[in-house]
Amino acid sequence: AQKVTQAQTEISVVEKEDVTLDCVYETRDTTYYLFWYKQPPSGELVFLIRRNSFDEQNEISGRYSWNFQKSTSSFNFTITASQVVDSAVYFCAIRPVIQGAQKLVFGQGTRLTINP
């Protein structure tokens, strides 16, 4: 069985601060995908990134960066110079890379509030 833990239920920071959202996962699969989704106050789920387990290279996209460490089963998400528009609930998710396996297992989410 797979499990995703986002220990930070809520985070509140002041605009322009850097903030890191933690994600720790458990899986017995040797290959898997990891995902981050954003859920703004309007409620929709927005895909942010997918990472293959065999690719441990960190990724940066603008103010967003992701640190994948297989040794610690973590896939953390950092927002640099946070903005009010970053306020949302962020979900980390995992699924195995095997044919027919499409179920995404989500963490409980981290509610991020960026204060002006």
Q: Which is nearer to other proteins, 19 or 93 (CB)?
A: 93
Closest by Cα among 59, 61, 100, 96 to 76: 59
Distance of CA 80 to the CA centre of its chain: 15
Q: Taking CB under 8 A as the rule, does residue 107 contact other proteins? A: yes
Q: Which residue in 8, 79, 96, 109 binds other proteins (CB under 8 A)?
A: 109
Q: Regarding beta strands 10-14 and 110-115, do their DSSP bridges make them parallel or antiparallel, or are they unpaired?
A: parallel
Q: Which residue in 20, 58, 108, 113 binds other proteins (CB under 8 A)?
A: 108
Range in contact with other proteins (rule: CB under 8 A) among 17-25, 59-67, 78-86, 99-107: 99-107
Q: Which residue in 25, 32, 36, 37 binds other proteins (CB under 8 A)?
A: 37
Site for other proteins, rule CB under 8 A = 4, 9, 33, 35, 37, 43-47, 50, 91, 93, 100, 102-104, 106-109
